[in-house]
Amino acid sequence: MADIKMGIIGCGSIAEIAHFPSIDQRKEARLLSVCDVDEEQAQSSAAKWGAEAWFTDYRIMFDKVNLDAVVIAAPNNVHRNIAVAAANAGVNVVVEKPLAVTNSEAWEIVDACNDAGVKLMVGCDRRFWTHNQWAKELVEGGAIGNLLMSRASLHEHWHNYQNHVAKTGFRLDCEVAGGAALNDTGAHAIDLLTWLNDSKVKRTVGVAKRLAMPESYTLCDDTALVIVEFENGAFGTISCNRFSPAVNQATELCGTEGTIFTATDATNPFQSWPMAVFTNKDFTVDTLPQILKDYRWPELFWVEDIIDEHVRKRWVPICPPRRPNNYERMTEHFLDCIINDKPPLVSGEDGARAVEVMCAIWKSMETGGWVDLPLTEEVIPPYYIPPPKEA
Ligand SMILES: NC(=O)c1ccc[n+]([C@@H]2O[C@H](COP(=O)([O-])OP(=O)(O)OC[C@H]3O[C@@H](n4cnc5c(N)ncnc54)[C@H](O)[C@@H]3O)[C@@H](O)[C@H]2O)c1
């Protein structure tokens, strides 16, 4: 059994909810060291999760402890410097989403990791929900024909996370976070849609604005609407906000021969199952994709299924197993990538391209039109103050 020595930098909410417990479950890994600028937090996380060492400065941690991998779960503005330091120390990295705030920061992380030959994965956990993985498998297997139009939304009030879960107020501070609806919740939606479409974004247009909260609360955007055109010609829309008290999240994939819905984080009023698939293809009982075979109910009313020589066309509601959860699967996957030298599912390039979309929307707000990707200059989101580069 491998012994992957891990560290976590930033022991706040997502480390506590996702990363510490997921690492704790893995036999092939152990938490060796933690780091947080808040000394009490670093100490208490180390004690709670059994880390041998704790630090308040990641540079000292990289100097003193020999780590195989680190999870960077600190605020957005420090992702770049910490990830580059990790790469320079020869440590494999998971960086929480968004990979960075500006497109230049993001590509600097990618380059540093490539140059150092370390693995880089972005913490876009939506790709590790079983519903989304099955949607991807069905799309790739052709169950809904040509995917031409899709949308991903994530609507959730500031207060939900900020008042009940977050350890610090960094999300409200635009100088540090560099945005909210667009690069916090939007980071998930942009990544998910791009992955499901299996194509890069060619150009984008959209808006990101603060509509709901007063300036005294935050300067960050709370409303974001984005249209993307993919290189393969398909279109997608992304809709995120930070003012809906009822959390709702949905992904809808419209193909020429079917439609798939997934909802992984919340219940929508029209939804009784977390996933639903309709295919118009003439599948027989034998050719029906296994996922649909397993979840059609009644399991097989054979007369109905042979009467037209193909199975009856109807919505198939699907409730995939909950365990292992998305974060457990993400951690297991990253460790497997290290041990067996595989490419991570959410690559650094994927993360950087998602940041490009976010930055392109700020550009689009200035020009009022479509913005082509890749960007040709660094885009610094409104109010964001990039910290001085350490390396
Ligand atoms: N995948 C997801 O769904 C998800 C959910 C929440 C947060 N996140 C991401 O994770 C990151 C952290 O968010 P959070 O909600 O856990 O924040 P948080 O405010 O709860 O915690 C951040 C922690 O980082 C520490 N910190 C700040 N600067 C640091 C530095 N330079 N070095 C070490 N530690 C430092 C803080 O003291 C705090 O303990 C953000 O990038 C956020 O976008 C992702």
Whether 386 is in the pocket of ligand 1, judged by its Cβ within 6 Å, is no
Whether 85 is in the pocket of ligand 1, judged by its Cβ within 6 Å, is no
**In terms of domains, do 76 and 185 share one?**
no
Each residue's pLDDT tens digit, 226-280: 999 999 999 999 999 999 999 999 999 999 999 999 998 777 888 888 999 999 9
CA of 43 to the centre of ligand 1 (A): 16
Which residues pair with residue 241 across a beta bridge?
155, 223
pLDDT at 327: 97
pLDDT at 376: 97
CA of 58 to the centre of ligand 1 (A): 14
Given a cut of 70, the residues of the chain with pLDDT beneath it are: 299-302
| Total domains, the chain | 2
**In terms of domains, do 118 and 158 share one?**
no
The enclosing H or E element of 113 equals helix 103-116
| Ligand 1 atom with minimal separation from the 81 CA | 31
pLDDT at 297: 77
Whether 97 is in the pocket of ligand 1, judged by its Cβ within 6 Å, is yes
Beta strands in 84-234 (DSSP E): 92-95, 120-122, 147-155, 201-209, 223-230
| Ligand 1 atom with minimal separation from the 170 CA | 19
Return the amino acid letter for 76: N
| Ligand 1 atom with minimal separation from the 35 CA | 33
365 found inside a domain: no
Gap between the Cα atoms of 3 and 1, Å rounded: 7
**Residue 273 token pair:** 């199952």
Whether 123 is in the pocket of ligand 1, judged by its Cβ within 6 Å, is yes
The enclosing H or E element of 33 equals strand 29-35
Q: Across the beta sheet with 4-9, what order do the strands follow?
A: 53-55, 29-35, 4-9, 69-72, 92-95, 120-122
pLDDT at 265: 77
Q: What is the CATH number of the domain that holds 285?
A: 3.30.360.10
pLDDT at 264: 83
368 found inside a domain: no
Nearest CA to 291 out of 279, 282, 303 is that of: 279
Q: Count CA atoms within 13 Å of residue 19 on its CB side.
A: 27
64 found inside a domain: yes
> Is the separation of the CB atoms in 221 and 208 below 8 Å?
yes
CA of 301 to the centre of ligand 1 (A): 51
169 found inside a domain: yes
> Is the separation of the CB atoms in 31 and 6 below 8 Å?
yes
pLDDT at 303: 77
**In terms of domains, do 22 and 136 share one?**
no
**In terms of domains, do 334 and 262 share one?**
no
| Ligand 1 atom with minimal separation from the 124 CA | 1
Q: Which domain holds residue 337?
A: 4-126+327-346
The single-letter DSSP state of residue 15 is I
238 found inside a domain: yes
**In terms of domains, do 103 and 172 share one?**
no
372 found inside a domain: no
Whether 100 is in the pocket of ligand 1, judged by its Cβ within 6 Å, is no
Whether 84 is in the pocket of ligand 1, judged by its Cβ within 6 Å, is no
242 found inside a domain: yes
Taking the model in full, what pTM does it have?
A: 0.97
**In terms of domains, do 192 and 291 share one?**
yes
pLDDT at 300: 61
Whether 191 is in the pocket of ligand 1, judged by its Cβ within 6 Å, is no
Whether 254 is in the pocket of ligand 1, judged by its Cβ within 6 Å, is no
**In terms of domains, do 172 and 69 share one?**
no
pLDDT at 302: 65
**In terms of domains, do 107 and 182 share one?**
no
Whether 199 is in the pocket of ligand 1, judged by its Cβ within 6 Å, is no
**In terms of domains, do 144 and 55 share one?**
no
Each residue's pLDDT tens digit, 273-283: 899 999 999 99
Give CA angle at 244 (239, 247), nearest 5°: 85
